[in-house]
Structure 1
Amino acid sequence: MWFKFFLPATTSGRKDTIDRWVQLIVGLALYGLALALMVRAHIGVAPWDVLSFGLIENFHLSYGMATVAVSIVVLLLWIPLRQRFGIGTLMNGLTVGLWADLALLVVPVTDELWLRCIYFGAGLVILAFATVLYIDADFGPGPRDGLMTGLVRITKQPVWLVRTVLEGSVLLLGWALIGWGFGTTVGVGTLLFAFGVGPLIQLFLPPVTRWRARRSARLDDPR
C-alpha cells in the first residue's frame, strides 16, 4: 500500500513509528547544523561540498540549493546498487540543505582560528552522529549514505573503510574540478572529513543501534 512509503522499514508499533519520525527529523536538522558549522569554520569543506561550492560559484545558488542539486545527482548513482528508496531519502535530499541555510543564519562568522577549529571539530562529530540517527530511524538512508550502505552491502567491507574510500574518491574528483574552475574550498578540513567521518560513524553506530532496539521494545510494550 502507498502509505507504507511513510513508515520505517521495521517498527514495533504506532508509538515506535512516531518516535522514529522524531529521530529522523532531529537527525536531519543536526546534519544541517553540522554542515553549517564546517562551512563557517572556513578551513576546508567536506568532499561532497566541494562540488556544492562549485555550483554556488558558477550558478549563484544558495548553499542549501546547491546541496539539494548534488543530492539529486548522487541519487542517480543508486540505480546500479538497487538501494531501497524511502521517505527518509527524499527528506534528506530535499531538507538538509534548507536546515543548513537556516543554521548559517545563526552560526556567527569568526576570524578566530581556535574558534573555527572548534566549529569544524564539532561539525564533524555532530555530522557523524546525525548520520547514524537518521539511518537508524530506518526510513531509508540519505543520498550519500545510501551510496555508502549500498557499497557496504556489495563489497562486504566495514562501514568506516567504505565511507573513507568514498569520501577520498570524491575529494580527488573535487580537486580535479577545481582545476577546471569549479570551486576553491579544499583545505585541511577536507582531508580531516574525508578520513575522519567513516571511523566516527563506525563509533556511533553500535550504541545508537542498541539504544534504538531497547527504546522500540519499551515504547510499544503492552504491559
Structure 2
Amino acid sequence: MPSAERASLTYAFDAYCAWCYGFGPTLRAFAEENAHRIRLSVVSAGLYTGARALPVSAYPHLPAERGDVTRLTGVTFGTGYDRAVSRGTTVLDSAAAAAGLAALRDQPGISELDAAEAMQRAWFVDGRSLSDAEVYRGIADELGLDADAVTAAFSAPAGRVKARADFRALRRLRVLSYPTLLLDSAHGADRMGGADSTVTSLTSALDQRLTTTVPQVPTHDLPSQGEPS
C-alpha cells in the first residue's frame, strides 16, 4: 500500500499508566507487522494531573496493579521501579510527562512509539521521574536525537501548552481509559483495542475497518485500566 494510503492510527497513552506499559509489546509487534499500511501517532493522556499529581505513596493500589499487569501481559517491572514505589516520594505528574513526549515527538526523524517506549522504560524499569529534564537527555542520547534541543523543548512553556493540547484532543475523542488504539476515519475516531488486545485481534480489527464503510467491530475493555477517576 503506498504511503499516502496508509491508515492513520492514534495511540492514547499515559507514560505513568502501567496498563499502557503492559500493552507496549503488543502494540510494537502490531505496528511492525502492519508498518506498510499504518501511520501511528502517540497522544498523551492526563491520568495524573491537577489534584491527582501526587506522590506515589498516595496511590497504594500500584503494587497490586503491577501484579495484574504482569499476569495479563507478561511484562516485567524493574528493580528501579520497585524502589521508587517503595520510597513513595516520586510525584506522578502526567503534564510533565506529556511535555516530555511533546519535546521528543517534535524532533526530526523520531518514531513516536520509540519515544513513548523509552519514557516508560525510564519509569517502569529504572524508576526515574518523568519530571526530570535529565531523563529526556538520556532518552535523546539513546534515540540519537539532539539532547540539548530535547531538554530545552521540555523546559520551555510551550511544552506544557502542547501537553494540554494532547489532553484536550483525547477529551474531544471521548477517550476515558488507557491504553486505547484508535483508527482515524471519515466517520471519526474508531476504537480498535486496548490492554487486553492481541496482535491478531488488532490486525483483524484493522483488516475489517479498512474494508468496511462503517466500522462495526466491538472491542474489549478493562474498566480498571488506567482510568482517571
TM-score tier after normalising by the smaller chain length: under 0.3
TM-score, with structure 2 as normaliser: 0.25
- Which structure has more relative contact order (CA 8 Å, sep 6+)? It is 1
TM-score, with structure 1 as normaliser: 0.25
Which protein has the bigger strand share?
A: 2
